[in-house]
Amino acid sequence: MKLDSKVPSGPLEEKWDRHLKDIKLLSPNNKRKHTVIVVGTGLAGASAAASLAELGYNVKSFCIQDSERRAHSIAAQGGINAAKNYPNDGDSIWRLFYDTIKGGDYRSREANVYRLAQVSNEIIDQAVAQGVPFAREYSGLLDNRSFGGAQVSRTFYARGQTGQQLLLGAYQAMMKMVHAGKIENHTRKEMLDLVVIDGKARGIITRDLVSGEMEKWTGDAVVLCTGGYGNVFYLSTNAKNANVTAAWRCHKRGATFANPCYVQIHPTCIPVSGDYQSKLTLMSESLRNDGRVWVPREKGDKRKPGSIPEHERFYYLEEKYPSFGNLVPRDVASRNAKIVTDEGMGVGATGKAVYLDFRDAIKRDGRDAIEAKYGNLFDMYENITGENPYKEPMRIFPAVHYTMGGLWVDYNLMSNVPGLFVAGEANFSDHGANRLGASALMQGLADGYFVIPYTIGNYIADTDLAAVDSNHNAFAEAVSNSKSQIDKLLNINGDKSVIHYHRELGKIMWDKVGISRSREGMSRAIEDIRALRDEFWQNVRVPGEANYYNKYLEFACRVADYFELAELMALDALQREESCGCHLREEYQSEEGEALRNDEEFSYVAAWEFLGVNGKLETTMHKEELEFEFVELKQRSYK
Amino acid sequence: MIPVRHAVTASTEKIIQPIEPTIMSSSDMTIHLKIWRQKNAESKGRFETYTLDNVNEHMSFLEMLDVLNEELIENGDDPVEFDYDCREGICGSCNLVINGRAHGPKHMTAVCQLHMRNYSDGDTVVIEPARAAAFPVIKDLVVDRSAFDRIIEAGGYVSVKTGSAPEANLIPVPQKKANQAFDYATCIGCGACVAACPNSSASLFTGAKIGHLNKLPQGQPEKQQRVLSMVAQMEKEGFGDCSNYAECEAVCPVGISISAIAEMRREYLKALFDN
Ligand SMILES: Cc1cc2nc3c(=O)[nH]c(=O)nc-3n(C[C@H](O)[C@H](O)[C@H](O)COP(=O)(O)OP(=O)(O)OC[C@H]3O[C@@H](n4cnc5c(N)ncnc54)[C@H](O)[C@@H]3O)c2cc1C
Ligand code: SF4
Ligand code: FES
């Protein structure tokens, strides 16, 4: 299989404009004759559905939640980047592009990232026009802040609810088109399969989550906007319904899955309190601007933090990285938290936490100033933990947050299955081995508002799309596939619950395919995943029946897919014998513990083709070599 | 990690033993639950009682229900269905009515953000769905709130096509106005206001969206059409009128002010008059 990125030729700054000029257009009359299926209604899906419908396509939209507005994007807090350069601090499209490429540790495609930076400004215009209430200065003009270690202030924000406000904007744009009769919207329906006819994506199968009914939907193209797969770790900051099922089922129908091992782990989350823990809560990393991270120097020191004298506190980030200190990038902060807790210096009842201490900031600036900056975060922390962070340091620990990997797509955001487009967190496209803060929202909306609506037109204009109907064999086969999987799950009637297996899988992944990875650990992980997967299929107990609302059945189908994905993630991490971005291989680090990237051998996208599961996952890897024409590759250093 | 185990006692005769021995810690509590069970929209529902031992104070309320469900499943019973997604108080999926109060006892807190430290050993907790004629029950505690989406569909937006927006800073918005718009825009669409209202009115939800857009210059051109269409849809969906009980404001997890309703009324009358 040859993976052709279809990057247009020419200077970086001109590629997208030239491409738009070359793209074939469909007349409005023609668009009306075509149906596009959009799965997912997060930032990517809602913006794509609205924009495609405005262009004249008939759109069918699907989501799991009871309303489009509840997609996981709603939970994003910090902000969205754009290269507006309003603060006049030297930002530009080039700089946003460069920061994103560098942040991704040179494992993403230059042309895609440049386009992302280019359309970023239009996203802000669009959102403002929709009435998204971004923060403003006294002048009434838009305010910016700096985020995630960037040297310029380019992040637009809406209090701590940027994702919510952007999603409501996109959702409302979408509902406007529902009203106009151009979008047929379906909630509480889960996509369980992709239907490929004559080598092209021509439809999907969904399960109605209320009636349990299997349904067939035909279309001329399918846009998958189903989010990331962080929940393979069971505990993550993702919403409970976030899943890999739609993407994985497309993978099983031929779409290659790229860089599955790239997972971002966020350093400032509220630690686990007990076995019942169902998800982890992120706290904005802006806290690291004023909080100091430390652990007791003494292993197993059980004293209260207040009684540990200054010289017995290990401010490990400040000591190891004097120039960046507590503001080192996410992956460096996360990795070091793991190192100190693995060494037994962790704090709290579980020992799986480090302190984030505001004592000095409060002394310096006063309680009021700290409250003004972080009041809502402190309240949230107190609400969840029952502890007062003004008096005692917060306890924090890293948690899985974002997945850079996803279905492979070309410059047009089309997968290797013609007609299957992938947008938002579900694709692998823009963040390389590490995503910068405030750039996922940017990417989701760039894909949905400004890329897919045009590239899809080119595909449809250029492709012979004979009419298909849902009586085609391929639909019947897909339905019966999904049905028999559900029947199988319901009939195992074993004695452990789905949640039990998901949690156990998550532990394997966290321990061995998480923050730091070793050859030995991953080989063990692969064995463990296979064994647990076999046990799952022998011994899981899924309650109830298929013909009514049954949340645990939904989970069972998703966990079944996670079991396969998990093995692929470990295989991918194993073959990548270098450390890059969020992927740290213990064998490939310098003596001081810095990540060692290997551009000679690993400057490629690993795109995996599914062959089957037979006790083990059968898969082959295809490489898309990454070429850097416009930037010079440099090693990161935060010393 | 502190392992926590829980016993479930179904109200009906059978007493179910915990599967593994129980480890008690100082914070363990016994909580009695009375939960609304209903197979589907057509069937009649009823309360079932359960007892959970060893509820940990750090658990969230929904995690307590997860634990109950694990036990129900292990014992071959149907788990209790309830809606949730983010578990961070922002998606608006969760909407339980606890001891008669939407989202439970904690002010400005969605039920997914409620923790068991707000309860004491031996408490009885009654859990019901967010009831309203316009929110039919789907199963147990899950209701159909799609009426809210249809209210937004009727006009809760600014009609701006992708790509046709002017440069963002060409539309300055005074900071105060922007903040007021934001206060209304934070509605999470949970439906607690409807469940709490004796008339099952959706006025707070609808007023919040109208208030958000009306405060902004972008919202002005469609102002009148918006309020007329959204109010008409609200009535069509079977939500009741507002009689100023203010129960909605009291339970709203994000503190939407009932001034939204007054503003909506004002706009509505003005629009009626002008049209
Ligand atoms: C707590 C948190 C904070 C964050 N903060 C920021 C931030 O400040 N800035 C930033 O840039 N990024 C942030 N991110 C990342 C960002 O929010 C996500 O990457 C982004 O919102 C993903 O959007 P999406 O449209 O790709 O998918 P999602 O929003 O995840 O939407 C997925 C959609 O697909 C649907 N779906 C999934 N599977 C199926 C299926 N099988 N069938 C039918 N429908 C399906 C779902 O119902 C949903 O509608 C944050 C993430 C988290 C977890
Ligand atoms: S107004 Fe408040 S209670 Fe009503 S739906 Fe919105 S957030 Fe929920
Ligand atoms: S589950 Fe999202 S608000 Fe409660």
CB contact under 8 A, B4 and A69: no
CB contact under 8 A, B85 and A129: no
Give the DSSP per-residue string, B187-253.
Answer: -----HHHHH-TT-B-HHHHHHHHHHHHTSGGGSTTHHHHHHHHHHHHHHTT-B---S--HHHHH-T
Of A75, A126, A349, the CB nearest to B88: A75
Give me ligand 1 centre to Cα B77, in Å.
33
The finding on whether B268 has its CB within 6 A of some atom of ligand 2 is no
Q: Which residue has the tokens 């807190």?
A: B109
Q: CA-to-CA distance for A362 and A596, rounded, in angstroms?
A: 38
The finding on whether B186 has its CB within 6 A of some atom of ligand 3 is no
Distances (CA, A) of B128 to A70, A446, B95: 22, 42, 9
Query: Is 50 exceeded by the pLDDT of residue B17?
Result: no
The ligand that comes nearest to the alpha carbon of residue B108 is: 2
Output the CA angle A307-A311-A316, nearest 5 degrees. Answer: 105
What is the torsional sign of CA A60, A63, A66, A67? negative
Q: Which atom of ligand 2 is nearest to the CA of B248?
A: 3
- Of all protein residues, the one whose alpha carbon is nearest to atom 8 of ligand 2 is B190
Query: Which residues, other chains included, contact A311 with Cβ-Cβ below 8 Å and sequence gap of 6+?
Result: none
List CB contacts (< 8 A) between B152 and chain A: 69, 171-172, 175
Q: CA-to-CA distance for A261 and A107, rounded, in angstroms?
A: 12
Number of residues assigned to chain B: 275
The finding on whether A160 has its CB within 6 A of some atom of ligand 1 is no
Say how many CB pairs under 8 Å bridge A and B.
234
Q: Is B30 exposed, middle or buried (0-12, 13-18, 19+ CB in 10 A)?
A: middle
Give me ligand 1 centre to Cα A512, in Å.
25
Q: CA-to-CA distance for A450 and B163, rounded, in angstroms?
A: 8
Strands A200-208 and A394-403: unpaired
| Beta-sheet strands, E only, within chain B | 8-10, 29-37, 46-55, 97-98, 101-102, 124-128, 137-139, 142-143
Give me ligand 2 centre to Cα B191, in Å.
5
Task: Select A265-398's CATH number: 3.40.50.620, 3.90.700.10, 2.70.70.10, 3.40.50.2000.
Answer: 3.90.700.10
Q: Which atom of ligand 1 is nearest to the CA of A238?
A: 53
Backbone angles phi, psi at A558, to 5 degrees: -70, -40
| pLDDT at residue B127, as a whole number | 98
Annotated catalytic residue A136: no
List CB contacts (< 8 A) between A159 and chain B: 182
Query: Which residues, other chains included, contact A208 with Cβ-Cβ below 8 Å and sequence gap of 6+?
Result: A188, A189, A214, A215
Domains recognised in chain B with CATH numbers: 26-139 (3.10.20.30), 145-159+172-274 (1.10.1060.10)
CB contact under 8 A, A549 and B145: no
| ipTM exceeds 0.85, yes or no | yes
Q: CA A261 from chain center: how many Å?
A: 12
Region(s) of chain A under CATH 1.20.58.100: 474-625
Give me ligand 3 centre to Cα B83, in Å.
8
- Of all protein residues, the one whose alpha carbon is nearest to atom 3 of ligand 3 is B89
Helix, strand, coil percent content, chain B, rounded in steps of 5: 35, 15, 50
What's the whole-number mean pLDDT along residues B198-214? 98
A414: tokens are: 């089309």
pLDDT tens digits, one per residue of A502-547: 999 999 999 999 999 999 999 999 999 999 999 999 999 999 999 9
Minimal-distance CA residue of chain B relative to A178: B153
The ligand that comes nearest to the alpha carbon of residue A431 is: 1
Per the DSSP assignment, residues forming a β-bridge with A145 are A155
Distances (CA, A) of A387 to A336, A381, B251: 24, 7, 25
Residue B215 distance to chain A (closest CA, Å): 9
Q: CA-to-CA distance for B144 and B140, rounded, in angstroms?
A: 12
Q: CA-to-CA distance for B54 and B165, rounded, in angstroms?
A: 56
List CB contacts (< 8 A) between B110 and chain A: none
Amino acid type, A427: N
Of A47, A178, A274, the CB nearest to B1: A274
| pLDDT at residue B16, as a whole number | 36
Give, for B65, the enclosing helix (H) or strand (E).
helix B61-74
- Does any CB of chain B come closer than 8 Å to the CB of residue A69? yes
Substitution candidate for ligand 3 out of B90, B95, B109, B252 with most atoms within 8 A of CB? B90
Strands A420-422 and A221-224: parallel
Residue B220 distance to chain A (closest CA, Å): 11
Q: CA-to-CA distance for A344 and A341, rounded, in angstroms?
A: 5
The finding on whether B112 has its CB within 6 A of some atom of ligand 3 is yes
Give me ligand 1 centre to Cα B266, in Å.
38
Query: Is 90 exceeded by the pLDDT of residue B7?
Result: no
Residue B197 distance to chain A (closest CA, Å): 22
Mean pLDDT in order along chain A per 10 residues (639 residues): 94 97 92 97 98 98 98 95 96 96 95 98 98 96 85 92 97 98 98 98 98 98 98 98 98 98 96 94 88 96 95 96 87 91 94 96 95 88 94 96 98 98 98 94 98 97 95 98 98 97 98 96 98 98 97 98 98 98 94 88 98 97 96 80
A474-625 classified as CATH 1.20.1250.20: no
B48: tokens are: 């079932």
List CB contacts (< 8 A) between A239 and chain B: 85-87, 91
B251: tokens are: 């339970």
State the catalytic residue, choosing from A202, A207, A288, A330.
A330
CB contact under 8 A, A131 and B78: no
| pLDDT at residue A483, as a whole number | 98
Q: Which residue has the tokens 């496209």?
A: A429
Minimal-distance CA residue of chain A relative to B41: A210
| pLDDT at residue A149, as a whole number | 65
Residue A102 and residue A3 in contact, taking contact as beta carbons nearer than 8 Å: no
Q: Which has the closest alpha carbon to A49: A215, A191, A177?
A: A177
The finding on whether A282 has its CB within 6 A of some atom of ligand 1 is yes
Give me ligand 1 centre to Cα A72, in Å.
4
Region(s) of chain A under CATH 3.90.700.10: 265-398
- Does any CB of chain B come closer than 8 Å to the CB of residue A181? no
List CB contacts (< 8 A) between B160 and chain A: 126, 129-130, 173
Q: What is the DSSP letter of A440?
A: H
Region(s) of chain A under CATH 3.50.50.60: 23-239+413-462
Q: In sequence order, which ranges of A391-541 are alpha helices (DSSP H)?
A: 440-445, 452-462, 473-492, 498-512, 519-539
List CB contacts (< 8 A) between B186 and chain A: 161, 164
Give me ligand 1 centre to Cα A239, in Å.
8
Residue A412 and residue A20 in contact, taking contact as beta carbons nearer than 8 Å: no
CATH class of the region A23-239+413-462:
alpha beta
The finding on whether A613 has its CB within 6 A of some atom of ligand 1 is no
Q: Which atom of ligand 3 is nearest to the CA of B190?
A: 3
List CB contacts (< 8 A) between A125 and chain B: 165-168
Minimal-distance CA residue of chain B relative to A138: B175
Query: Which residues, other chains included, contact A83 with Cβ-Cβ below 8 Å and sequence gap of 6+?
Result: A91, A92, A93, A95, A96, A117, A120, A121, A154
